Amino acid sequence: MEYLKLVKVYEALEKTTKRLEKTEIISNFIKDISAEELEYIIHLIEGSVFPESDERKIGMSSQLMLKVIARSTGNSLSEIEKEWKKKGDLGIVTENFVKEKKQRTLTTRELTTRHVYDNIRKLAELEGKGTVDRKVSLVSELLTSAKPEEARFIVRTILDEMRIGVSEGVVRDSIAKAFDIPVEEVEKTFNMLVDYGKVAVLAKKGKKYLNKIGLEPGRPTKVMLAILVNNVNEAFEYLGKPLQAEVKLDGFRCLINNDGKNIYLFTRRMENVTNQFKELIPIIKKQIKAKSYIIDSELVGYDPKTKKYLPFQSISQRIKRKYDIEEISKKFPVEINAFDIIYYNGKSIEKEPLKERRKVLEKIVEQKRYDIVLTKKLVTDNEKKANEFFKESIKEGYEGLVLKNLNAEYKPGRYVNYMCKMKQVLDPLDLVITGAQWGEGKRSEWLSSFTIACRAKDKFVDIGKVGTGIKEKSEGVTFKELTRILKPLITETKGKNIIVKPKIIVQVGYEEIQKSPTYKSGYALRFPKIIMLRNEKPLDEVSSINEVERIYKYQKGKK
């Protein structure tokens, strides 16, 4: 397929903000695409060349892209940078320079979607000496052949800045509409495969092909998530009686996979961290008595000397670590806290009731403190006992409780009536940074004030600005570190203010939530303070406006 045909779809999507119109545009486009092309075209519509579950990254910075544009168009770096500051969008800048280019090279040819897709994917596979030059050559080849509008979206795809407003939900609904499949069937299959490209190919074949997809050890999948409740009564309303209460741990979610030959550890973001936590493999082999399984767990750090449990922040650095793994594993060891099992000895058991799955877990896990244990639990229909268990968990240093429906199956994704979490009121919110301001004086080289936002359906709405809790030096979140990770995400600059692509998540504490007309959320945080980075979380787990409203009402004594 000609890449220009896909570009016309991008342009149509860019012109509307209406979700139904976007769904109509995409569904009409993909319904007649061949199965051979459908998978990668879905990825391109999502603005990527890899599915969410793929760990590969394109790794092309805006600064390197400036060099590519200069090489491809014959313009100087200073000219391109000047236009970038004006437009705030390197895609549009490239389009304009390609349009003005006086002479096209002799190697010009019509671009196909496959060629664009393959060239961009190769960027992630290059390594070693000469990598930068090879990346520049691959992208330059595309841009020298591209029509102006094609150049705009090639650059945006590479930089992960599509700006066409296509959310995961829009892609899901488009696939359902194009192939006349119920939305819930499409979403269910996606939660197993975590790849809408593959889901679309199956949907094109028919519903029965979606229904054949099940859990498979060794393949990352979505985890089941909990909604926030304020009190035990609210949890009983959602979950029924009795319910199972478990202590809420301050670690990170880990799906332990054993396919009968190999063991894999996946985070909630589907990152393979087997190598980063390889000291756990012998423990898992020795103390889990089963041939194959997928076990849901939380890895919690502890001090090797005092044996006291540590906050997530202390072990977060281990997730991305590639070097000196053995050294850091001794400094920050972790304990496996298992709480669910969804695949057992060659069979999916996620549809079995929780109480039965827990029995399987209790049968096969040989518990040993600081190696692997089962989460502390209480099954009750008594409000007083549940509240006592909650108070006890807080006193012991846990975050609160996770409350579960005893008869519920395991559903990947966020579902009401399956699992809730109850924390201390005014617990921190996980918010995404959407903007910032350059500092003054000794902080002039750093970003020093940050706009933070909560999630409202498919967009983020600001809820305040924060500049406290950040260090100039020493441990913790520093101005230098935040500036470093935010600079590549800048999409627009206005004087000292910048707008950044929503990607960096921070945990924010505060004294109170107040109503405010200043911010788009309608709320503001009083005395906000950054506690730590929470980039192990995906964007769909940024605290929602519903959570903000619930805490606000609780403060006011409302239900």
Beta bridge partners of 295: 256, 341
285 versus 161: the higher-pLDDT residue is 285
C-alpha to C-alpha distance for 310 and 429, rounded to whole angstroms? 19
Provide the token pair at 470: 């950040």
C-alpha to C-alpha distance for 111 and 109, rounded to whole angstroms? 6
Q: What is the pLDDT of residue 474?
A: 63
Q: What is the pLDDT of residue 339?
A: 98
Average pLDDT of the residues in 233-242:
95
Give the three-class secondary structure for 59.
coil
Among 162, 160, 144, which residue's Cα sits nearest to residue 62? 160
pLDDT, tens digit, 9 for 90 and up, residues 301-350: 999 999 999 888 788 889 888 888 999 999 999 999 999 999 999 999 99
Which distant-in-sequence residues (6+ apart) come within 8 Å of 449 by Cβ? 436, 437, 439, 465, 466, 467
**Is pLDDT above 90 for 550?**
no
C-alpha to C-alpha distance for 33 and 21, rounded to whole angstroms? 19
Average pLDDT of the residues in 145-169:
93
pLDDT, tens digit, 9 for 90 and up, residues 371-421: 999 999 999 999 999 999 999 998 888 889 999 999 999 998 866 679 999
pLDDT, tens digit, 9 for 90 and up, residues 505-542: 999 999 789 889 899 999 999 889 999 999 788 898 99
Task: Sort strands 263-267 and 252-258 into parallel, antiparallel or unpaired.
Answer: antiparallel
**Is pLDDT above 60 for 445?**
yes
Give the three-class secondary structure for 391.
helix
Beta bridge partners of 245: 378, 403
C-alpha to C-alpha distance for 480 and 483, rounded to whole angstroms? 5
**Is pLDDT above 90 for 63?**
no
What does the H/E/C string look like for 540-552?
Answer: HHCCEHHHHHHHH
C-alpha to C-alpha distance for 358 and 361, rounded to whole angstroms? 5
Task: Sort strands 459-466 and 490-494 into parallel, antiparallel or unpaired.
Answer: unpaired
User: Residues 446, 481: contact at Cβ < 8 Å?
Assistant: no
User: Residues 539, 428: contact at Cβ < 8 Å?
Assistant: no
C-alpha to C-alpha distance for 480 and 543, rounded to whole angstroms? 25
Strands (DSSP E) contained in 203-283 are 224-225, 227-229, 243-248, 252-258, 263-267
pLDDT, tens digit, 9 for 90 and up, residues 163-184: 898 989 999 999 999 999 999 9
Which domains does the chain show, CATH number per domain? 48-159 (1.10.3260.10), 224-423 (3.30.470.30), 429-555 (2.40.50.140)
C-alpha to C-alpha distance for 527 and 510, rounded to whole angstroms? 5
What does the H/E/C string look like for 114-141?
Answer: HHHHHHHHHHHHCCCCCHHHHHHHHHHH
User: Residues 23, 166: contact at Cβ < 8 Å?
Assistant: no
Burial environment of residue 93 by CB neighbours within 10 A (0 to 12, 13 to 18, 19 or more):
buried
Which distant-in-sequence residues (6+ apart) come within 8 Å of 462 by Cβ? 434, 435, 451, 452, 453, 519, 520, 521
Q: Does an H or E element contain 39, and which?
A: helix 35-45
* Radius of gyration for the chain, computed over Cα atoms and rounded to the nearest angstrom: 25
Q: What is each CA distance from 378 to 280, 328, 393, 417, in whole angstroms? A: 27, 35, 11, 18
State pTM to two decimals.
Answer: 0.79
**Is pLDDT above 90 for 23?**
yes
Average pLDDT of the residues in 348-362:
97
pLDDT, tens digit, 9 for 90 and up, residues 83-127: 887 887 899 999 999 998 744 544 557 999 999 999 999 999 888
Q: What is the pLDDT of residue 556?
A: 60
Tokens 């269910």, located at residue: 188
Q: What percent of the chain has pLDDT over 90?
A: 73
Q: What is the pLDDT of residue 4?
A: 97
C-alpha to C-alpha distance for 202 and 10, rounded to whole angstroms? 24
- How sure is the predictor about 425, in pLDDT bands with cuts at 50, 70 and 90? low
Average pLDDT of the residues in 433-440:
90
When the pLDDT of each residue in the chain is averaged and rounded to a whole number, the result is 91
Provide the token pair at 206: 């028919």
Phi-psi category of residue 464: left, alpha or beta, with phi > 0 → left and psi -120 to 50 → alpha:
left
C-alpha to C-alpha distance for 284 and 367, rounded to whole angstroms? 11
User: Residues 232, 390: contact at Cβ < 8 Å?
Assistant: yes
Average pLDDT of the residues in 448-459:
93
Q: What is the pLDDT of residue 53?
A: 83
Q: What is the pLDDT of residue 559?
A: 39
Give the three-class secondary structure for 461.
strand
Q: What is the pLDDT of residue 439?
A: 84
Among 453, 398, 404, 405, which residue's Cα sits nearest to residue 424? 398
C-alpha to C-alpha distance for 451 and 78, rounded to whole angstroms? 29
Residues designated as active site: 248
Q: What is the pLDDT of residue 277?
A: 97
